[in-house]
Structure 1
Amino acid sequence: MTDQSMAPAQDQAILRKASLKIALRISAVCALLVLCLLTAATMYLLSQAGNPEPAEPGAVYAYLDTKDLIKAMVIAGAAGILLAGGVGWLSARSAIRPLGEALILQRRFIQDASHEMRTPLAILDARIQVAQRSTAPESPAGRQLTRIRDDTAALTGIVNELLESATGTLQEPAATATNIPDVTQEVVDSLQHLAADRGITLHCSSTGHPRAMITPQRLHRAILGLAENALVHTPAGGLITVDSTVAANQAVITVTDTGHGITGIDQDRIFDRFARTPDPHPGQQQRSFGIGLSLVRDIAVAAGGSADVAYTGPEGTRMRITLPLARN
């Protein structure tokens, strides 16, 4: 099996479209040049035919029909355009080939990494189940084991999605009417120990019962992305509040921290991949946002909503996810 046959069909379709687009552009430029040359040559021939030079005694002349000459030029120009298109297509294929190889290597790496992670995760889940059998479910240790197993299941789901995406078999789960307060509470519960270790208070609140058409897993990742970003940029002794409510017929989720605010970068760029503030002044720390916030925005936009910075200042930052309300 060749590397090309291992690439998912969507990758091959994308590469073919890119090659065709480049070839068409080359052909269009060549066609424009040929038309300009033909036009100039035709005008010159017509001008010469209308003003013939006087014949010299004893000279031999060959006369060409202007129409036949122009027809030959048109045929030659068309052949040149077709030849340019063929050369453009071959050149585009050669230029795109390294990109195709890079995509294959990327997918192969994701496949290998995801496959290798499945077995350790399965073993971890089995060990958690063994520990749960000897622990009372309602005891503090039992509740922690349940949360650890839930986190393991979530991580296993992400690994499986990566593997399916790498093999081209990923199917988007159908969106359901998800109860947002339940998901926000799950996120806060999963981060409580991490926040406590950093001396940060993590609080969850909800007004009303907002629901949105989105899978619980995706909503969990989006809220988790905002909460993790707040944890990174909130100093010890700070407070982070995750709130969900209904406003203007939309579900609104906000994550508010008591950090030092965001400065030195446009707020619209915060959700770009690997966005970072410029070199700080003495005494200031450069802030980097990685890809977490970019994924948050992608999830929100895919669900028909948005993600933005509602407020940032010296007393803290409030980031917001807005989603359409699910119809009852």
Structure 2
Amino acid sequence: MSSSSAPHADTPQLRRAAITVAIRIAAAIALMVIAVIIAAAIYMLYLSHHPDVSATDTSTRVYVESNDMLKAMVVAGFAGIVAAGAIGWLSARSAIRPLGQALELQRRFVQDASHELRTPLTILDARVQLAQHKVDPETDAARLLGQIRVDTAALSATVQELLLAATGGGGAPAEPVDIAAVVEDVLADLGDMASSLGIRLESVHNGAPPARILSNSLRRAVLGLVDNALNHTPRGGSITVSTGKAGHTALISVTDTGTGISGIDRTRVFDRFAHTTEPSEGGRRSYGLGLALVREIAVAAGGTIEISSTGPHGTTMILTLPKAR
């Protein structure tokens, strides 16, 4: 592999994987060697206590002390185990090398894509600012331009997260986030889309504590949940996003009035491109990447995402996050 920063970020994981594979190979061969030694030792002890077994054989024999034979077998077995470990290590390194190359290519792609997106986003934000200066601040155009700036900032933050992940950087530590404020921002961003679909968005806040998660990551998770609800809620329906707490966790629940989830196991809904065998009222069969990304965000933050209930009258999904200390 090359000496760029991408493969170096994966070197510890690849080395651990190679060592794990080598240990397993060596352990398997060692067990076989030990089994052979034990079987041979048992057979020798049996012959030493039953010399009459081969008494009819008159061919020339060379007698060796059983202790010497056992010592020789132990030495040979130890050498075999060491050789097995060396062979396992070389085999593991050879098997892991293509994986390292694939990870390097993946990191390079994410790095290049993230880097190339940063400049257009910066230019877009600058142009939106110029447009804001040319319109009346009290008009709908000014409001829409302000929302575009917020969306651009969120997209820029997402690109930065991807770049940090590709370079192996940990990024900024998670700060306490007001989940109610994030929910309101997301509902405001999706308000126009919901109106065009004839769906009502509502929010209910029950004193949820601050959560320990990156603000942009939380925004993406809530956006993914509400967007999924919009895709599966018919015209005239409603979506309610509630925040609250349970013990040491903060809760966000998204309840829609869709037709519910059917034709697929609940645990598979959060898989990438999960499909149902029964289309909803809108004819949708796939859940795409949205819910899968929500689960990844939740797990990375130490939380969970699950389907609390689903049926003909709607579905409720609950996102739990660690409470900030």
- Residue of structure 1 equivalent to 2:233: 234
Q: In 2, are the aligned partners of 1:241 and 1:255 still within 8 Å (CA)?
A: yes
Aligned runs of 1:46-65 on 2, under 5 Å? 46-52=45-51, 60-65=60-65
Question: What secondary structure sits across from 1:49 in the alignment?
Answer: helix
Amino acid of the structure 1 residue aligned with 2:30: A
Question: What secondary structure sits across from 1:262 in the alignment?
Answer: coil
2:282 & 2:204 partners in 1: Cα distance? 32
- Residue of structure 2 equivalent to 1:212: 211
Deviation per CA, 1:190-247, whole angstroms, max 9, x where unpaired? 1112222323222333344643333322221111111010111112222222222345
Q: In 2, are the aligned partners of 1:244 and 1:253 still within 8 Å (CA)?
A: yes
Q: 1:282 to 1:131 in 2, by over 3 A?
A: closer
Deviation per CA, 1:99-133, whole angstroms, max 9, x where unpaired? 11111111111111111111211111111111011
2:31 & 2:249 partners in 1: Cα distance? 52
- Residue of structure 2 equivalent to 1:298: 296
Q: 1:263 to 1:174 in 2, by over 3 A?
A: same
2:243 & 2:131 partners in 1: Cα distance? 35
- Residue of structure 2 equivalent to 1:312: 310
Q: In 2, are the aligned partners of 1:8 and 1:167 still within 8 Å (CA)?
A: no
2:322 & 2:162 partners in 1: Cα distance? 27
Give the superposition deviation at 1:13. 0.9
- Residue of structure 2 equivalent to 1:258: 257
Give the superposition deviation at 1:72. 1.2
2:205 & 2:149 partners in 1: Cα distance? 26
The answer for unaligned runs of 5 or more in structure 1 is none
Question: Any runs of at least 4 consecutive aligned residues in structure 1 with deviations exceeding 6 A, and if so which?
Answer: 281-284
Deviation per CA, 1:267-293, whole angstroms, max 9, x where unpaired? 23322333222x338999453222322
- Residue of structure 1 equivalent to 2:6: 7
- Residue of structure 2 equivalent to 1:177: 176
1:5 & 1:209 partners in 2: Cα distance? 45
Q: In 2, are the aligned partners of 1:256 and 1:319 still within 8 Å (CA)?
A: yes
Give the superposition deviation at 1:181. 2.0
1:56 & 1:276 partners in 2: Cα distance? 73
What percent of counterpart residues are identical? 51
Q: 1:310 to 1:43 in 2, by over 3 A?
A: closer
Q: 1:80 to 1:129 in 2, by over 3 A?
A: same
Amino acid of the structure 2 residue aligned with 1:46: L
Q: In 2, are the aligned partners of 1:199 and 1:236 still within 8 Å (CA)?
A: yes
Per the normalisation by structure 2, the TM-score is 0.89
Q: In 1, are the aligned partners of 2:260 and 2:314 still within 8 Å (CA)?
A: yes
- Residue of structure 2 equivalent to 1:192: 191
1:73 & 1:237 partners in 2: Cα distance? 81
**213-222 or 297-306, larger mean C-alpha shift:** 297-306
**175-184 or 138-147, larger mean C-alpha shift:** 175-184
**266-275 or 310-319, larger mean C-alpha shift:** 266-275
Aligned runs of 1:41-120 on 2, under 5 Å? 41-52=40-51, 60-120=60-120
Per the normalisation by structure 1, the TM-score is 0.89
1:255 & 1:82 partners in 2: Cα distance? 58
2:322 & 2:12 partners in 1: Cα distance? 33
Aligned residues: 323
**208-217 or 189-198, larger mean C-alpha shift:** 208-217
Q: 1:35 to 1:113 in 2, by over 3 A?
A: same
Amino acid of the structure 1 residue aligned with 2:232: H
Q: 1:88 to 1:231 in 2, by over 3 A?
A: same
2:83 & 2:292 partners in 1: Cα distance? 44
Q: In 2, are the aligned partners of 1:210 and 1:244 still within 8 Å (CA)?
A: no
- Residue of structure 2 equivalent to 1:128: 128
Q: 1:47 to 1:105 in 2, by over 3 A?
A: same
2:86 & 2:261 partners in 1: Cα distance? 53
Q: 1:6 to 1:249 in 2, by over 3 A?
A: closer
